[in-house]
Amino acid sequence: MNRRLGVLISGRGSNLQALIDAVHEGRLNATIAVVISNRPDAAGLERARKAGIEALCIDHQGSTSRDEHDRAVGRELRARDVGLVCLAGYMRLVGAPLLEAFPNAILNIHPSLLPAFPGVDAQRQAIEHGAKVSGVTVPLVTAALDGGPIVIQRPVPVLDGDTPETLSARILLEEHRAYPEAVQAVLEGGWRIEGRRFVRSVSGASR
């Protein structure tokens, strides 16, 4: 698989930083070709520039429709020969133009064990539901919101005294480990989609 990554962000960019660090440390055999934010004030843009990575803002407010914004993002990704798109705190739904340009080649990271607690505020949802365990999911992105084939999941305990902030912080540590591993697994190939399932042919890989 083409090992050039495009990372889409909207804010802080700590998962982007985890990918940058994993590349630098040789745990992730990839090149981050470009980072694109839909918000000009995303702190992650600065993280990318500091690491010498091209960082662009394509402000969604400058587009007349979601499809037009998606097409603009897709053009920039293709112009840099990106093979795998990583959403990292990208607060936009990905529409048909991007999904069709990168079939089974867009990953997301979500702070719960899907299909529990999809959408926004997953950590608060877990606490309010009374879940004892939540965690991290890295799915492929499809038209179903947070419903694509699951590449990696990691559990994280929910403690009695947790607030959304303390649980988010504990989950985030696991996100930073899981995302580079999931990206590496996808880039290594040797997987297929069977129905809803992401299936790896390499033994011992299905964690």
Residues in the chain: 207
> What is the contact surface with ligand GRF in residues (CB under 6 A)?
11-15, 88-89, 109-111, 172, 175
Angle at 190 between CA 181 and CA 183, to 5 degrees: 20
Nearer residue to ligand GRF within complex by CB, 33 or 37: 37
The amino acid present at 17, given as its one-letter code, is Q
Q: Which residues are catalytic?
A: 110
Nearer residue to ligand GRF within complex by CB, 68 or 91: 91
Minimum Å gap between C-beta 36 and ligand GRF is 13
Angle at 67 between CA 38 and CA 149, to 5 degrees: 80
Instruction: Report d(CA 145, CA 133) in Å as an integer.
Output: 22
Minimum Å gap between C-beta 175 and ligand GRF is 5
CB-based contact 5:53 (threshold 8 Å): no
Minimum Å gap between C-beta 13 and ligand GRF is 5
What does DSSP say about strands 197-200 and 84-87: parallel, antiparallel, or unpaired?
Answer: unpaired
Nearer residue to ligand GRF within complex by CB, 45 or 99: 45
Residue showing the smallest CB distance to ligand GRF in the complex: 89
Minimum Å gap between C-beta 123 and ligand GRF is 8
Is 118 buried (19+), middle (13-18) or exposed (0-12) by CB count in 10 A? Answer: middle
Find the helix or strand (DSSP H, E) in which 75 lies: helix 66-79
Nearer residue to ligand GRF within complex by CB, 13 or 148: 13
Grouping H, G, I as helix, E, B as strand and the rest as coil, residue 68 is helix
